[in-house]
Structure 1
Amino acid sequence: MSEPLRLSKRMSELGLCSRREADEWIERGWVRVDGVVVSTLGSKVLPEQKITVERQASNEQARRVTILINKPVGFVSGQAEDGYRPAVSLISSRTRWKLDRSPTQFQPNQLRNLVPAGRLDIDSVGLLVLTQDGRIAKHLIGETSDVDKEYLVRVQYHKPGRLPESDLQLLNHGLTMDGKPLKEAKVYWQNEDQLSFTLREGKKRQIRRMCEAVGLRVVGLKRVRIGKVTLGDLPTGEWRYLAADESF
């Protein structure tokens, strides 16, 4: 027998929206199960039941924006903390990249419910995604996300000589963190003092901690790609919209 699931969870599993969005739509009467409107939060459905949403929900979702910003040092990814400004405070019509090809017009209300889909440390720079779309947030940072992220990492080696090949291989696979083995990474030298890291997970300060484990000190870290979306020529401190034909 199939077990009933919470309607909002099932909608998220199907990729219709995030759980938070699902609850909003349910309360507004925008969700139907087998053709019948369901407006009670906490309602449950069977996996085989058909879930549809009203056009109002689809229209609202289509208006939600996703913004790519080249975060500078000194800004936090999310809420303001310890006196540091959040990256969202950089977004205005004045700081929009002049070469942004999206036809979307900037509106201050686009800043409402704009949340980071992944973090960058305060002392790290590069590509940061801010989105109003729960589907994108789940795709990038959900428990089942397998979107890879690429970083350029400038390092200094604490020991005499050069990092042994065996330690480079350890960065690729074999390290543990917080008591759990890390997923396999792709790490290689770009030049004599810079490594390229490609990860499929994002533990707190993961790259810095990985480097410390093999005697490397990180002196600069820049995220240059998330999935198929690259930082490209986006200037530091400026932003652009995710284009309609772009996908992570």
Structure 2
Amino acid sequence: MDISVNKYISDTGFCSRREADKYIEQGRVTINDNIASKGNRVKTGDVVEVDGEPLKKKKATIYMALNKPKGITCTTDTKDKSNIIDYLNYSSRIFPIGRLDKLSEGLIFLTNDGDIVNKILRAGNQHEKEYIVTVDKPVNLEFIKAMRNGVKIMGVVTQKCFVQQEGTNRFRIILTQGLNRQIRRMCEALGYNVEALRRTRIMNITLKDLPPGKWRYFTKEEINTISAMVANSSKTGNNAGNTEGMDE
């Protein structure tokens, strides 16, 4: 590493390069206890401090999409033998955004960016999640209409949503809600049991070309699109009773 001191400061996420120049001009920046001046370079092993506080290198943000197989639990609790973290065995700390039931499969996001987790999980964001669901008996028009218009589960009526028959026992559903085990509970309320549930899309990201059990990083374009989609979301907020914003 050999970069200018203002770029080093901005790369840590402490402030912009322009603001870093002001700190340097004010004599508030040191490199190895020597007051820095504009144009100084920072090399590997150098200690850069602002107002006597060492600057820590910012962690690179990780955003990944996993096609979760059945039997993996969306928990970071390593006491659970089927936990998603041990399954991935990734080199640094990451955590899932929302969850899929152990018996469900399909798309789930993982990241080390707590800020984007909060934004995506907020119910007010109304982000779409798309699923293909197989049930234990043939679906009919009455069932499809009921699913579309809302089903009473857990003391509330689910929001209206897109539902389309895809086969004798199979349908596609797009949710913006994320109540706990929502699709399974909706089906059970109408006398059906879910035999297979696969999430195929979250927001702008799909399972395309991602085999079961495999993962990939988001592309730059995907990150930019998601950032734009959550731009109006505050970091904290009332989930309006929706405690699992990315559940199925």
The aligned residue for residue 83 of structure 2 is: 86
**Which of 62, 65, 70 is residue 62 of structure 2 equivalent to?**
65
1:222-237 to structure 2, matched below 5 A, reads 222-237=198-213
Change (3 A) 1:241 1:171: same
Distance in 2 (alpha carbons) for counterparts of 1:232 and 1:164 = 29
**Percentage identity across aligned positions?**
31
1:195-216: per-residue Cα shift (whole Å, max 9, x none)?
A: 1011001111110111111121
Distance 1:82 1:189, change over 3 A: farther
In 2 relative to 1, CA 164–190 (structure 1 residues): closer, same or farther, beyond 3 Å? closer
The answer for the alignment partner of 1:22 in structure 2 is none
Of 176, 181, 192, which residue of structure 1 is paired with 2:152? 176
Where does residue 71 of structure 2 map in the other structure? 74
Determine if the alignment matches structure 1 residue 151 to structure 2 residue 131.
yes
**Residue type at the aligned position of 2:218:** L
When the two chains are superposed, the root-mean-square deviation of aligned CA atoms in Å is 2.8
**Are 2:96 and 1:116 equivalent residues in the alignment?**
yes
Structure 2 unpaired stretches of 5+: 1-11, 20-54, 227-248
1:212 aligns with 2:210: no
Corresponding residue pairs, total: 177
User: Which whole-Å deviations, capped at 9, do the CAs of 1:50-84 have from their partners, x for residues lacking one?
Assistant: xxxxxx79x836x2111111111111111337743
Of 163, 167, 177, the match for 1:191: 167
Aligned equivalents of 2:116, 2:88: Cα separation in 1: 19
Aligned partners of 2:107 and 2:190: how far apart in 1? 26
Kindly provide the amino acid, as one letter, of the partner of residue 60 in structure 1.
K
Instruction: Pick from 123, 129, 132 the counterpart of residue 109 of structure 2.
Output: 129
TM-score, scaled to structure 1? 0.64
In structure 1, the gaps of 5 or more residues are: 1-27, 36-55, 94-107
CA deviation map 1:38-61 (0-9, x unaligned) = xxxxxxxxxxxxxxxxxx79x836
Asked if 2 retains the 8 angstrom alpha-carbon contact of 1:139 and 1:147, the reply is no
Task: Give the Å deviation of 1:171.
Answer: 0.4
Q: Deviations over 1:183-204 (max 9, x none)?
A: 1111111111211011001111
- How far apart are the structure 1 equivalents of 2:78 and 2:13? 37
Runs of 4+ with deviation above 6 angstroms: none
> CA shift at 1:151, angstroms?
0.5
* 1:163 CA drift (Å): 3.7
The CA distance in 1 between the partners of 2:109 and 2:78, in whole Å, is 19
Secondary structure of the 2:221 match is coil
Does 180-189 or 72-81 show the bigger shift?
72-81
Give the superposition deviation at 1:164.
4.0
SS in 2 for 1:70: strand
| Counterpart Cα distance in 1 of 2:120 and 2:108 | 11
